[in-house]
Amino acid sequence: MTLPLFPDDARETLDPGACLLRGFALEQAPTLLHAIHTLTTHAPLRHLITPGGQRMSVAMSNCGALGWVSDKRGYRYTPCDPDSGAPWPAMPSAFSALATQAAAAAGYADFEPDACLINRYASGTRLSLHQDKNERDMTQPIVSVSLGVTARFVWGGAERNDKTRRLTLEHGDVVVWGGPARLNFHGVAELAASHHALTDSYRFNLTFRKAG
């Protein structure tokens, strides 16, 4: 499978090391959503509990060799779904290929994700400001794919109190961050009640990482 070269002028730099690739996943979006449906039949979306004991409003699942989980013991990656004890479903090759190509378009060659977090946002759902810091190798970027209902992504800096920007992420948009921006704070503002032809009232997000 080949993707057309992504035009340089369609790449929006957010900060050194971070960029937004508008529409990068648009063509593959229906395939991705179909795969999400199948994957979450095997490893259902669920509301994880934070170490502080709160139920996360975003529903999550995973595919790939490692999956991100949270419970009262903390945040970590596991090879198996704690609900079923079975390994997380394999990452479809269309997923890893897209992540590798998006990372390359953002300047990160040879990205090979071993973890894909599947997030589902319903209207009113938000994800508070956080860093992705449970991965072993911080030289590898994060690749984040937006599908369905439009969201407002909150993009901050290296410190929690740094100024934040709100970016509109639409169906098919991809954000990549690494290098000097790898540990930047980010989150998702409360999802508005809206509708998308392919996802109804939901937004899905795929976050690809090299976790192990």
Task: Report the interface residues with Fe ion, using CB under 5 A.
Answer: 132
* Strand runs labelled E in the chain: 11-15, 18-21, 59-63, 67-71, 74-78, 115-121, 127-130, 142-148, 151-155, 165-169, 174-177, 186-188, 203-209
Asked if 120 interacts with ligand SIN (CB under 6 A), we say no
Shortest Å distance, C-beta 145 to ligand SIN: 8
Report phi then psi at 34, rounded to 5.
Answer: -65, -45
Whichever of 28 and 144 has its CB closer to ligand SIN, that residue is: 144
Asked if 127 interacts with ligand SIN (CB under 6 A), we say yes
144 binds, among Fe ion, ligand SIN, none (CB under 5 to 8 A by kind): ligand SIN
Distance CA 98, CA 108 (A): 13
Asked if 153 interacts with ligand SIN (CB under 6 A), we say yes
What the block records as the tokens of 38 is 């199948």
140 binds, among ligand SIN, Fe ion, none (CB under 5 to 8 A by kind): none
As to burial, measured by CB atoms within 10 angstroms (0-12 exposed, 13-18 middle, 19+ buried), residue 74 is exposed
Whichever of 32 and 143 has its CB closer to Fe ion, that residue is: 143
Asked if 61 interacts with ligand SIN (CB under 6 A), we say no
Shortest Å distance, C-beta 142 to Fe ion: 7
Distance CA 62, CA 86 (A): 12
174 binds, among Fe ion, ligand SIN, none (CB under 5 to 8 A by kind): none
Question: Which residues of the shown chain bind ligand SIN in the complex (CB under 6 A)?
Answer: 117, 119, 127, 144, 153, 186, 188, 205, 207
